[in-house]
Amino acid sequence: MRVFTSADHSVQVAAGEEFEVKLVAMTFGGYQWKVFPDTNLVEVVDDTKYTEFAASDLIGCPLWQWIRLKALGSGTTQLSFQHVRPWETIAPDDTHDVELTIR
């Protein structure tokens, strides 16, 4: 399975392909990444996987958040990721946009 990161701003995948986007989440502060895809072209398979950002036993270290997506059909769309606290209604702490081309 292919994995993309915050360094990727434009990616191509095949229709039917599952792929992951991993982003640094400040979970110690209650933050998580939410993705807002065009649901006609992209399905969120899972957004609940977290792994250590770096080998560390320090309290409060950020974690990688892995977001698994599936390309449903061909076309071009933008994936908008927002780093938010789910209970807040203010602007996101951070954003990341990816132009996705599905072949």
Amino acid found at 68: R
Three-state secondary structure string covering 21-66: EEEEECHHHCCEEEEECCCCCEEEEEEEEEEECCCCCCCCCCEEEE
Q: How many residues does the chain have?
A: 103
Above 70 in pLDDT, residue 56? no
* Residue of higher predicted confidence among 56 and 14: 14
CATH label of the domain that carries residue 44? 2.60.40.2020
- How many domains, in total, are found in the chain? 1
Above 90 in pLDDT, residue 28? no
Above 90 in pLDDT, residue 62? no
- What predicted TM-score, i.e. pTM, was given to this entire model? 0.90
Which 3 state secondary structure label does DSSP give 40? Answer: coil
Enclosing domain of residue 12? 2-102
